[in-house]
Structure 1
Amino acid sequence: MKKLLTIVAIAAAVVAVPLALAQNAGQGQPAPQQGEQADKAQSEADAKAKRRAAANAEMKAGGQQAPQKEEEEEAKKKR
């Protein structure tokens, strides 16, 4: 039960942070066209990270180990 609560708390944090950032993003001066493209890329990356975190949490809740190989490949791509 404690693990389930921990997973739920982590999932809630993963969802809440991008939502808070999105709410604050509308404040301030409008971004130029290039900035909009960067924002779109960042939001896509955030969405992908949320999906991964949720999938990893579900796997851990089911007693399975999270896939390490995919994480290592992503780290290599970022470098």
Structure 2
Amino acid sequence: MKKLLTIVAIAAAVVAVPMALAQNAGQGQPAPQQGEQADKAQAEADAKAKRRAAATAEMKAKGEQAPQKEEEEEARKKR
């Protein structure tokens, strides 16, 4: 019985150690990079929205028809 428990404990360790190492591999660096990428993407999206809003406002001020297709697409994307 004692030999069986020893074999089971060794087998569990043989399986658990590589799994733990695989889960912890590379956890240090990707988190900050992902946050920076998300911030950059958000800043680009905000800048694009501001440019479109300014262009639409300028067209409306001139009395021109604003491109409704783009406005509808943006509204769908926001939903």
Q: Which TM class, normalised by the smaller chain length?
A: 0.5 to 0.7
Structure 1 residue runs of 5 or longer lacking an equivalent are none
Shift of 1:11: 67
Structure 2 residue runs of 5 or longer lacking an equivalent are none
CA distance in 1, matches of 2:53, 2:70: 13
Aligned-residue identity in percent? 92
Shift of 1:77: 3.7
CA distance in 2, matches of 1:56, 1:3: 79
CA distance in 1, matches of 2:29, 2:35: 12
Coordinate RMSD, CA, aligned:
23.8
**TM-score (norm. length: structure 1):** 0.53
* Higher RCO (C-alpha 8 Å, min separation 6): 1
* SS in structure 2 at match of 1:33: helix
CA distance in 2, matches of 1:35, 1:43: 12
Q: Does 1:71 align with 2:71?
A: yes
Larger Rg: 2
Contact residue 60 and residue 66 of structure 1 kept, 8 A: yes
